[in-house]
Structure 1
């Protein structure tokens, strides 16, 4: 159920009966020369929608601009500073608590958001407001990702190319997929940006001239469908697990005496 499609009287009974909500989050940032800037938030929203439809759990509108300053050199990339992002997400989550929700799953599709969502969840858990956990789609199905792709890559590679080819194929520039591979960084071990154990890079462009990592030519819509269905299944299982937990089990443990 998508909250924003309903009137407040219609939502009153739904929220009174609900304990869990889904909050999709992504980014608006470069994804190589072949994928749209919307890649991350499209993936997050599609997965959140599929899980909400299957479970009946309410989902919020998508947070579609995230922590992406490391992609700023590429035209069109938008970002917010980490403190602003954390404050915004925390505020939205407290809104849900006000309406009776006591547990939230952040359906996330952008690596730059991960640590900040974990911090927001920690704050909300610590003060007893709500139990919120971050879920990253590809981290829920690592074996399948490894099975499908020889050179995966963390960004604008085959897994994201396959997912968008399944979700929104009209947004993939098929003529630029080979360019993404040839002008990017296919094998992460070939990067020279770690020196004597120190990460000497700060931005994506320091490692990849066109912003792509991995070999996106290995992606197909069929592989994307397999990824999407497997990740949706994992998300549904997580939501069902969370729904089944007693409220007391989600509160912070007391101080050890």
Structure 2
């Protein structure tokens, strides 16, 4: 069920029975010469919609712009600063809670959002507003990713390329795959990535001239379909697991005994 396509009485029927929502989030940022800037949010939305179709849970509109200042040197990249991003996500999450949603899964496809989504989830849980968790698609299927790609990459690499070949092949510039590999950093991290234990970079351009990592020529639509199906299955299982828990069991555990002030 897609929230924005429903009427308010139809959504009233939903929250009378269910209390879970799926929120897709990504970015609008450079993904090299072969992938569109929409890559992350397209992947997130496709997985969220697929899981919603399979399970019947509510899916919200997609958050298209994320925390992406580390890609700022490349044309077209948009970003929200971290405090504003966190406040925005927390605000609409509280909106959902006002309407009866007390479990939220942030279906995330952008690494720059991860820390901030977890912080929002911590805030909402601390106040017992909602149980909100961040789910990253590739982290749900790490063994499969390692199995199908010999030289992977965390950004614009073969896993994202293959996913986009499956989701929307018309947006993939397949004639640029070799350029992406040869102009980027196929083997990452390299010996200069860390210096005496310190990360020697802040921005994507510090590591790669064209903004991408890994061997993009290793991507195929068939591999993308395998990733998509496996990740969708993991997401559906997560949704079922969360929905099956009692709300009280998802909240923070109490302070250990003796309770503060109990002997006063």
Same fold (TM over 0.5): yes
For the residues of structure 1 that align with 2:189 and 2:106, how far apart are their CA atoms? 31
Farther off after superposition, 13-22 or 134-143: 13-22
2:131 corresponds to: 131
Note the 1:11-90 alignment, pairs <5 A.
Answer: 11-90=11-90
User: For this pair of structures, how many residues does the alignment match?
Assistant: 257
Is the aligned partner of 1:10 residue 2:10? Answer: yes
For the residues of structure 2 that align with 1:127 and 1:176, how far apart are their CA atoms? 49
For the residues of structure 2 that align with 1:115 and 1:48, how far apart are their CA atoms? 20
> Secondary structure of the residue that 2:210 maps to in structure 1?
coil
> Secondary structure of the residue that 1:28 maps to in structure 2?
coil
2:262 corresponds to: none
> Secondary structure of the residue that 2:229 maps to in structure 1?
helix
Note the 1:1-257 alignment, pairs <5 A.
Answer: 1-256=1-256, 257=258
> Secondary structure of the residue that 1:100 maps to in structure 2?
coil
> Secondary structure of the residue that 1:40 maps to in structure 2?
helix
Q: CA deviation at 1:38?
A: 0.2
Query: Would the aligned equivalents of 1:65 and 1:79 in 2 still touch at CA under 8 Å?
Result: yes
Query: Would the aligned equivalents of 1:35 and 1:173 in 2 still touch at CA under 8 Å?
Result: yes
For the residues of structure 2 that align with 1:146 and 1:42, how far apart are their CA atoms? 22
For the residues of structure 2 that align with 1:115 and 1:75, how far apart are their CA atoms? 25
Unaligned runs of 5+ in 1: none
Q: CA deviation at 1:193?
A: 2.7
Query: C-alpha deviations, 1:19-53, integer Å up to 9, x for none?
Result: 11000000000001100000000000000000000
> Secondary structure of the residue that 2:104 maps to in structure 1?
strand
Q: CA deviation at 1:175?
A: 1.1
Q: CA deviation at 1:191?
A: 4.9
For the residues of structure 2 that align with 1:72 and 1:189, how far apart are their CA atoms? 21
Supply the RMSD in Å over aligned alpha carbons: 0.7
For the residues of structure 2 that align with 1:192 and 1:36, how far apart are their CA atoms? 29
Q: Which runs of 4+ in 1 moved over 6 A?
A: none
For the residues of structure 1 that align with 2:163 and 2:105, how far apart are their CA atoms? 21
For the residues of structure 1 that align with 2:38 and 2:80, how far apart are their CA atoms? 15
Q: CA deviation at 1:16?
A: 1.8
Q: CA deviation at 1:81?
A: 0.2
Q: TM-score, length-normalised on structure 1?
A: 0.99
Q: CA deviation at 1:190?
A: 2.5
Query: C-alpha deviations, 1:96-152, integer Å up to 9, x for none?
Result: 100001111000000000000000000100111100000000000000000000110
Q: CA deviation at 1:15?
A: 1.9
Query: C-alpha deviations, 1:220-251, integer Å up to 9, x for none?
Result: 00000000000000000000000100111012
